[in-house]
Structure 1
Amino acid sequence: MPTLRETILATLHARLSALPATALRGDVLPERVPPDGILILRDGAPGEPEVTLSPVAYHYQHRAEIEAVVQGADRDAGFDALCASIGTAIAADRTLGGLCDWAEAEAPRPVDLPVEGAASLKAAVIPVILHYTTADPLA
Structure 2
Amino acid sequence: MPTPRETILTALHARLLALPATALRGEVLPERVPTGGLLILRDGEPGEPEVTLSPLRYHYQHRAEIEAVVQGADRDVAFDTLTAGIGETVTADRTLGGLCDWVEAEAPRPLDLPVEGAAPLKAAVIPVVLHYSTADPLG
The sequence identity of aligned pairs, in percent, is 81
- State how 1:59-138 maps to structure 2 within 5 Å: 59-138=59-138
1:49 counterpart = 2:49? yes
1:24-82 Cα deviation digits (max 9, x unpaired): 00001111111110000000000000000111000000000000000000000000000
Whole-angstrom distance in 2 between the partners of 1:60 and 1:36: 33
Tell me how far 1:130 sits from its aligned partner.
Answer: 0.1
| Residue of structure 2 equivalent to 1:11 | 11
* Structure 1 outlier segments of 4+, above 2 Å: none
TM-score under structure 1 length normalisation: 0.99
Whole-angstrom distance in 1 between the partners of 2:114 and 2:14: 30
Q: Output the amino acid matched with 1:92.
A: A
Whole-angstrom distance in 1 between the partners of 2:91 and 2:55: 31
Whole-angstrom distance in 1 between the partners of 2:126 and 2:74: 20
Whole-angstrom distance in 1 between the partners of 2:121 and 2:131: 32
Q: Output the amino acid matched with 1:43.
A: D
Whole-angstrom distance in 2 between the partners of 1:3 and 1:57: 14
Tell me how far 1:9 sits from its aligned partner.
Answer: 0.1
SS in 1 for 2:43: strand
Whole-angstrom distance in 1 between the partners of 2:55 and 2:33: 48
- Kindly report the root-mean-square deviation, in angstroms, between the aligned alpha carbons of the 2 structures: 0.3
Tell me how far 1:89 sits from its aligned partner.
Answer: 0.4
Q: Output the amino acid matched with 1:26.
A: G
SS in 2 for 1:80: helix
- Where structure 2 has 5 or more consecutive residues not aligned to the other structure, the ranges are none
SS in 1 for 2:88: helix
1:65-109 Cα deviation digits (max 9, x unpaired): 000000000000000000000000010000000000000000000
